Amino acid sequence: MIDFDTIIERRGTHSYKWDDPGQGRDVIPLWVADMDFPAPPAVTSALSARAANPIYGYTFAPEGLFQAFIRWHLRRNRWRVERDWVVPAPGVVPCLHYAVEAFTREGQGVVVQPPVYGPFFRAVEALGRRLTPNPLIRDGMRYRMNLEGLETLLDGGVGLLILCSPHNPVARVWDPEELLALGNLCRDRGVVIVSDDIHSDLIMPGKTFTPLAALGEDLAANSVTCSSPSKSFNIPGAGSAFAVIPDPEKRDAFRRAAERMGAMDMPNLFSAAAAEAAYREGEEWLEEVKSYIWDNYLFLEDFCRRRLPDLRVHPLEGTYVVWIDFRGLGLSAREMDTALRDARVRPSPGEIFGPGGEGFYRLNIACPRELLRQGLERIAAAFPGTGK
């Protein structure tokens, strides 16, 4: 059993989450999506071993890393990735930028499905493309994609769709039928799909992850899958990702775009060491961390039922971020932000995920249970009248 209960001090490590200068020292941060858990021991050993050789020169991606990545997907997702398809990159967000640059021209539409991870919007706008939102539909407590609305959008000259699979922040794991319907719509109109699968190893009980590109050669040929060990093994600071692009022309276009944007064909040496060790030896750790996160989710659900009954907690199908509807409190976004700030707890406000996020908060629950408990106590203290 790995110890995920111990609270490890992260302040003073230049942590985005813990050392944000505007935040105050005694705030419990439940925002940035990294875990407050130690990475798999094999990762720490690999990093120490690499650091022990004191020359940190230019490094290429080792063949063992590609093989570990390929075996991972075959074993866990029954997805057969060929070696040639894999393009290493420093992060998933850079891959999104390369894809927008590669497959669309200035002014052209790119579909995103809000509420969604904020950098999707930036990847489109920073490159002068037209943001084309296809908001998710909230059916009771379950979100779905608006495939009917999408058809009309796609016919309006869109070049690319950015899919979040599983979907941050609403924590949906898309079913094969949904992915197939989406994939077919885009394929028929020549609209490339970039599937951001960064959360795909974090699937909760009762759900199964299917990569869109595993659903058929035609869908694979029309896709770029962005995969990464960052979230899975809590190594996002090491910066590591892979774009999987089965179609050779699309792969060339992607590589050329990356070059134009200054990407180098050279990983950070520590990220390569961490990623290879994680894929080779991190599976048991991953299973344990998922189970701990799931228990945290059950703890949170129970806490909210008893102490914050005006909040509505969405099902956690995947990821370690929980999407919660705070609108039942009957307060404005400003009132809620102020109350949470005064209570010294910091979830992510829903607005940062675009249309449909207002009145919601996203809570990162990948932390020791005691920290989560304290965070929830502070949320309860922020809204003392709730449920009375």
Query: Can you give the binding site for ligand PLP, defined by CB under 6 A?
Result: 33, 91-93, 117, 164, 168, 196, 198, 228, 230, 236, 241
Residue 250: in which H helix or E strand, if any?
A: helix 248-260
Tell me whether residue 119 or residue 216 sits nearer to ligand PLP (CB atom): 119
Tell me whether residue 94 or residue 331 sits nearer to ligand PLP (CB atom): 94
- The backbone torsions φ and ψ at residue 318, rounded to the nearest 5 degrees and listed phi first, read -160, 175
Closest distance between ligand PLP and the C-beta of residue 86, in Å? Answer: 15
Closest distance between ligand PLP and the C-beta of residue 52, in Å? Answer: 27
* Coil vs helix vs strand at 300: helix
Measure the CA angle with vertex 67, ends 54 and 180; round to 5°.
130
What is the distance between the alpha carbons of residues 284 and 295, in angstroms, rounded to a whole number? 17
Closest distance between ligand PLP and the C-beta of residue 224, in Å? Answer: 13
Tell me whether residue 212 or residue 241 sits nearer to ligand PLP (CB atom): 241
Tell me whether residue 120 or residue 303 sits nearer to ligand PLP (CB atom): 120
Whether the CB-CB separation of 347 and 31 falls below 8 Å is answered with yes
From the list 179, 215, 198, 217, the residue with the least C-alpha distance to 85 is 217
Closest distance between ligand PLP and the C-beta of residue 196, in Å? Answer: 5
Closest distance between ligand PLP and the C-beta of residue 263, in Å? Answer: 13
Tell me whether residue 47 or residue 116 sits nearer to ligand PLP (CB atom): 116
Tell me whether residue 93 or residue 286 sits nearer to ligand PLP (CB atom): 93
Chain position whose Cβ is nearest to ligand PLP: 91
Closest distance between ligand PLP and the C-beta of residue 31, in Å? Answer: 10
Cα 155 to Cα 111, 203, 298: the distances in Å are 12, 33, 43
Q: Tell me how crowded residue 368 is: count the other CB atoms within 10 A of its CB.
A: 19
Whether the CB-CB separation of 80 and 74 falls below 8 Å is answered with yes
Closest distance between ligand PLP and the C-beta of residue 21, in Å? Answer: 21
Tell me whether residue 160 or residue 329 sits nearer to ligand PLP (CB atom): 160
What DSSP string runs through 19-73?
Answer: --TTT-TT-EEE-SS--SSPPPHHHHHHHHHHHHS------PPPHHHHHHHHHHH
Residue matched to tokens 């970039």:
194
